[in-house]
Amino acid sequence: MASDELHANGDAAADGTVSWGELLAETETRLTQGAIDDASVSARRIVEEASGFEDAELNSGLHEPATVRGVAKLDAMVARRLTGEPLQYVLGRWAFRTLDLMVDKRVLIPRPETEEVAGWALDELSDVRSGPAIAVDLGTGSGAIGLSILAEAPDVDVWLTDVSTDALAVARANLVGLSLSAARGRVAHGSWFDALPDELAGTIDLVVSNPPYVPDSAELDATVADWEPPSALFAGPDGRDDLDALAAQVTRWLKPGGAFVVELSPEQAEGFAAHLEPAFDNVRIRHDLSGRARAVVARAPLASSG
């Protein structure tokens, strides 16, 4: 189904002669012919977005005639997907835990492993706080982790920080678009802890981050390398530059007993955990559902060493 054929179908749609079911089948065929690996999934998600039918609703709506506007939207999304652009960017949104996040090329695509990291951060926050609390999501990107904390943990003020103004624009849009508490969610620009006001030092219950941790020389899949922002991926020769920058400052900002949760690559977990042990209590490596080391979790000492 070439682009001009989709437009022809759009004209037919005005007469009610083309159904969403027909367009779904044609879209899957075109994506398959274009060597898109997840052609079936992409076709269904694109048709859902174009038609306005969500999930199971599409099954009952497949017999409905497509609209001209819907076909035009479908045509544009299919064309983008055929270039190899990730489905998440084509749709402009993606699910993350309880949230439906706006995402585009300014931010990393939210991943299932990071959903687990957000869950571990919420667990740590529950353990360390006894009332209202402060959490900071450093390098927030789309806001996925910080906004999940805001949505799922009551009485927690959440700071969302990033050095990228483009990323912060996405996080801010998600904060507003998700109707989360603007009073409890704050967006701040700056490199790591530089984004925070000095008065927060020593008062934070949780610092969580999914920083860049890919070595500069690493070869990534084209769907990542060609589309996602490099500044959110690469972090020096061994991928440790930003991890070490966080570790160097985090103890100053955490309250006694506060939690530090950081996502990293499986190969970095043991070395980074060992790096934290002299300054932290209860340093642990957390494994994702595939069994791979995915995060290091640590607690600041209850008594200051001075």
pTM exceeding 0.75: yes
Confidence of residue 262 (pLDDT cuts 50, 70, 90): very high
Summarize the confidence of residues 78-90 as an average pLDDT: 97
Domain ranges, ordered by start, for the chain: 3-84, 106-299
Interval 186-232: pLDDT, tens: 999 999 999 999 999 999 999 999 999 999 999 999 889 999 999 99
pLDDT at position 92, please? 97
DSSP annotation of 66 reads: P
Look at residue 154 and tell me whether its pLDDT is greater than 50. yes
Question: DSSP for 224-257?
Answer: HHTTS-GGGTB-STTS-HHHHHHHHHHHHHEEEE
Q: Token pair for residue 67?
A: 């609209």
- H helices of the chain, in order, are 3-14, 20-33, 39-51, 57-61, 68-82, 87-91, 112-128, 144-152, 165-177, 222-225, 241-253, 269-276
Question: Facing residues of 285 across strands?
Answer: 296
8 A C-beta contact, residue 195 and residue 246: no
Interval 136-150: pLDDT, tens: 999 999 999 999 999
Interval 276-297: pLDDT, tens: 999 999 999 999 999 999 999 9
Contacts for 68 with CB less than 8 Å, ≥ 6 apart: 10, 11, 13, 14
pLDDT at position 181, please? 72
**106-299 topology per CATH:** Rossmann fold (3.40.50)
8 A C-beta contact, residue 119 and residue 125: no
Count of other CB atoms within 10 angstroms of residue 68: 14
pLDDT at position 10, please? 41
Q: Higher pLDDT residue, 122 or 178?
A: 122
